[in-house]
Structure formats: C-alpha cells, structure tokens
Structure 1
Amino acid sequence: MSDFALLPVSLTRAAALIRTTAVAALVGFIVTVPAVAQEAGGWRVGVAEVPPAPEPGAKPRTSARIEVLAGQATAHAATLQAVAQDQVGRKLQQSDLDGWVGVWSATEDLPAGVQRRVLDWSVSPMAIMRTDTDIHQWADLAGRTVCLSADGRYVGELAARHAAIEQVYPSATDALLALRVGRCDAAVQDEGLLRQLLRFPEWRKFSAQLAPERQVTLVQLQRADLSADAVAALHQSVAPAQLQKLAQQQAKSIAFEVYLDQTVPDCH
C-alpha cells in the first residue's frame, strides 16, 4: 500500500487542505516583496525556460526550477521571458532585459554594463533512491535507470558522466512518481528541492541519497544602470529566505501532485 494511502483524511479533504495551504503560502510570499516589485509589470526578467500555459483540463504541474517560481511570484507572467544563456549578456547590455536568474559559470565573462550576484541557493544535482538501494556512489549509476524531468537541468549529464540510462519525463512530478512506482533506480533534481521533499514522512522510504558531486548555485545578473529601488526589489525577490519559502511550497505541491497521480503501490 502506498504511504499516502495511510493518510487519515479523505482525498477530497486532503486536496482542500493542500490548496488552502498553497494559496496562503503563495500570498504570504508575494506580500513580502517590496511595493516596487508589486508595480513591476514592465520589468523583463529572464530565465532559461518558461513553462507553457497548461492545456485545458491538464493536470497541474509545478516547475522544477525555483527561479521560474520566483519570477512568477515577483512579476506579471508577461514579464518573465525565456532567454537562452548565449543571448543573456547581449539582451542585458542592450536593455532588452532588466535581470536574469539561472546557472552561470563564475569563469564566464560578462559584457560591460552587466553585474553578477551569486545567490545563496544550491541547485546542485542530487539523487534520491529507495532506502534498500544498492547504489551508494555516483559511479554506481552506470547501466542503471535515472528519472529526470525535461524542465530540469541535468538531461544528458547522467548519461555522459556516469553511463546511466536516462528516462526523461515532462515534469519533476512525473519523474518522482516514476521513482515511487519502480520505473527507475534513482531520480535526480535540484538539491534545494529534494532536501525539502525528504522532510515529508511519506518520502522516508525514498530517502537514500547521493550528495551533490559538484556544487552549483543560482546566479542573478542585472543591468548596472537599474535604479536603487529596482535593484533592492530584485535582490529581495531571490533572497535566501524567499527562496526557502518557495522551495518549501514547491516540494509540498510536487509531493501532492505525485500523491494524486499515484494509482499503484510503491514498488517493493
């Protein structure tokens, strides 16, 4: 029987509780952003990928990338733009973007007029598995199946670095569901997300983990000529405390999405 099936509330009541909590958490996050951010409909914030609007009747899916959630919570959706990394510097320099959040190498040069700020948030690749796994180090992934999400950061990396067999799913929810029902030996996502997910009792059976073998932190880029108020608001929108709140809600939402979709018991 699934661990979720042991919850002492009905599915309907659980759904209502989670939705209420999710709305309250999101509202709580947004109201902590400075007033200038509330009025930032004209800001243009870039991220590597922006999820498409869900099709009518589609199941809800929470983004695997916390910077997408931060951008959606801070600004109007129209201001969040998908910008390929090789275009970021040019767009900022030419004032086509005000800011960008994502993964940026510390050794990569930036054009004049663009500032870099390293954020205190880990998006390092971390793996989780069933507690009875025989995988104890990254090298053990050779020839084993690893569930990844298409909107994550690691597609192609596990195969190239460890000869793993990658199974790519549309979202983190789908990839983690596949892990729970035994379709793969491990799942890899951002460390910040998985640390929060493993706090839930229903994920205790999947708490075996491979700590990140390389450290990756989020980086914020911005135009050097932004006003002081705009800079302060942008900085607060991705402050550690804000990212922590978002990660907690992200993990809660994904855990519940997995719960709703899990129609077979956890693999034993």
Structure 2
Amino acid sequence: MLHRNTNSGLKLNPFSGPLKILMAVVGLSLAGHGPALSEPVNVATQGGSVVAGSALSSEAVTLGMPYVVPPHVPGSKVRTPEGLAPLLAERLQKQMPLQAVAVPVEEKQAAEQSTHARLDALLLPLSDAEARQQAGTVIPTGYRAGIMAIMRTDTDIRQWDDLRGRTVCLAEGSGLAGQMEARYGAIEKVFRAPADALLDLRIGGCDAAVHDSTMLQALLQFPEWQKFSASLPIQQERDLAFIIPEHAAALAGVLQEQVRQWQDNGVLASLTKQAAQDIAFEVYMDQEVPDCH
C-alpha cells in the first residue's frame, strides 16, 4: 500500500517583478552531455555571468531555477514536481528567506533580460563544460539525472527514433516541451506534473512518458510499475548545481555547507525515494480505469 507524505507540498511563490537574470544558459532543459561534477569549483568568467544582490541580508535570496512550481490552489490536487530542484529549494527556504525566480530556458530570452537583471544564485542542471563557463562558484549538489522514456513492456518502441509519430507524455517542469517533437517527430502531450503524465501512460493515452531519469528509476522499483518498465537509454545526464557569483562569498560558503550536510545525511537519496513514492501514490489515487491489457 502506498502512503502519501503530506509534508512534500511545495510552497515557493514565483517572483512578481522583472526576471533577475544576467546570464545566458544554453540548453537548461537537460540538453547536452558531460561527466559528473564532483567538487565545488571556482571558475572564471567565460561568456555569461551572474550578478548577485545583497546575499544573506534581510532581503530574500533570489534563486533562479528553470521551473518554479506555481502556488498551490486550495482544493486542487497536490502534485509532486519534476526532478529534485524544487524540493531542494523548498528545504533551503527553511534555512533562509528565499524567492524562487523562473529563468528563461532559451538563450535569446535570457539575453533579452540580461541588461537589467540580478540574481543571488541559480540552481541548474549542468554538464562539466557548462560549469566551466559560469562566473563564480559552482557547487554540485550530488544529484545527477538525464532524460528517460518508459513504456509498456509489450511496446514495439526500441530506440529514441521510434518515437516518430508516437504520442509522448511530458511534465511542464521537465523543460522538454517542444524537444521530443523537434528531435524525433513525436506527438507531445504536456501535463502539469509527472503524475498526470504517467497516469495518461497507464491508461493508454500515450505511447511513452519522458521524465527525470533518476526519479523514473526509483519509481520502477514499485511492483505496480513493472508492466511499464520498458525503457529507452538515458540521455543528456547532468548534475544539479548551485551557481554563485564571485563576490557573494558568504552565500557560497553557506550553500557549500548546506550541500555537504545534505550529502552526509543522505538527503538526496531520501528525497528521491519519497518523491517517487508520492508520484506513485498520486497516480494510484487518480487512476479511474484499469490498465490496458
């Protein structure tokens, strides 16, 4: 029996003013390859940069993320977000005043905002090459994920190119909307959250569901997901990392210590397992028709 963790609802609010970004990050939605990041590294400016405000002051720290979960609407279904970034931001918010800011994922959008933008830090998936292009300190959280597709075990989809003309379910927070169509000619169905997309897979509404690979691997540990355990090879793995500008040494030190505590206490693995369990529970509660046979 699945049990819901009622403490996992995200309460971050989107930034109400202009986006505070002075950085063009190419392919934030998990595009690109690179080996795992291992240690925090100080890197020189190469292209983009991040300009910080008054980190650790009485004002909230502004944290840029590719996707900010909208505030929960009373009466609506609780939904677990895609990936670990929103959950880590929620934990961080308990340690300091924090304002989550949605960062444009397209280089052109970022460049348009760059002339009047400011951030205290970013939390983004990065390859090693992308990490070296950042100004300031890059602190890997230890969470590594790519994109992964799962399907019914009796599928005839064997490789990514087989998605052409097939229906693929995605979640808003994945940042993959438009990519599956552009790369493979797939027909996309974009849902608010992973549970909604995965539910559609279970009831036959799509041929495959593409999500955060680490979360999907944890989800497939549950017996009720074995019939949907066919998968395509993981692509575009990246490390989730904080990016802090060079002059925000105080904030960099705080985040380095926080990440160290998360790693020492097994927080990343615990949050991943709990997120998978919560998503499985959300699907279980909403499924009103039996699995296709």
TM-score past 0.5 threshold: yes
Aligned-partner SS, 1:65 = coil
Look up the equivalent residue of 2:103 and give its one-letter code.
Answer: V
Q: Counterpart in 2 of 1:190?
A: 212
Of 226-235 and 121-130, the range deviating more from structure 2: 226-235
Map 1:29-178 onto structure 2 (within 5 A).
42-76=60-94, 78-84=98-104, 96-104=118-126, 106-108=128-130, 110=133, 112=135, 114-178=136-200
Mapped to 1, the partners of 2:59 and 2:218 lie a distance apart of: 31
Q: Is the 8 A contact 2:63 2:98 kept in 1?
A: no
Query: Percent identical across equivalent pairs?
Result: 38
Paired letter, 2:283: V
Matched-pair contact (CA < 8 Å) for 2:80–2:195: yes
The one-letter code of the counterpart of 1:57 is G
Counterpart of 2:237, as a letter, is Q
The match for 2:275 among 241, 245, 250 is: 250
- The alignment partner of 1:173 has SS state of helix
CA contact (8 A) 1:101 1:219 kept: yes
Matched, 1:236 2:260: yes
How far residue 110 of structure 1 moved from its aligned partner, in angstroms, is: 4.5
Structure 1: unaligned runs, 5 residues or longer: 1-6, 8-13, 27-38
Give, in angstroms, the shift of residue 78 of structure 1. Answer: 4.7
Runs of 4+ in 1 over 6 A off after TM superposition: none
SS in 2 for 1:230: helix
| Contact kept? 1:122, 1:190, Cα under 8 Å | no
Distance 1:251 1:198, change over 3 A: same
Pick the structure with more helix per residue. Answer: 1
Using the size of structure 1 for normalisation, the TM-score is 0.76
Normalising by structure 2, we get a TM-score of 0.70
| Whole-angstrom distance in 1 between the partners of 2:77 and 2:167 | 25
Change (3 A) 1:191 1:163: same
Amino acid at match of 1:266: D
1:224-263: per-residue Cα shift (whole Å, max 9, x none)? 3322651333423764832221111111111111111100
Instruction: Show CA shifts across 1:79-112 (max 9, x none).
Output: 32323356989x99x9943321112454457564
Q: For residues 160 and 174 of structure 1, what CA distance do their matches in structure 2 show?
A: 23
Residue identity opposite 2:123 in structure 1: V
Per the TM alignment, residue 168 of structure 1 is displaced from its structure 2 partner at its CA by 1.1
Superposed CA RMSD: 3.2
Q: Distance in 2 between matches of 1:177 and 1:40?
A: 43
Q: Which runs of 5+ in 2 are unaligned?
A: 10-56
Letter in 2 for 1:82: A
Conservation of the 8 A alpha-carbon contact between 1:125 and 1:154: no
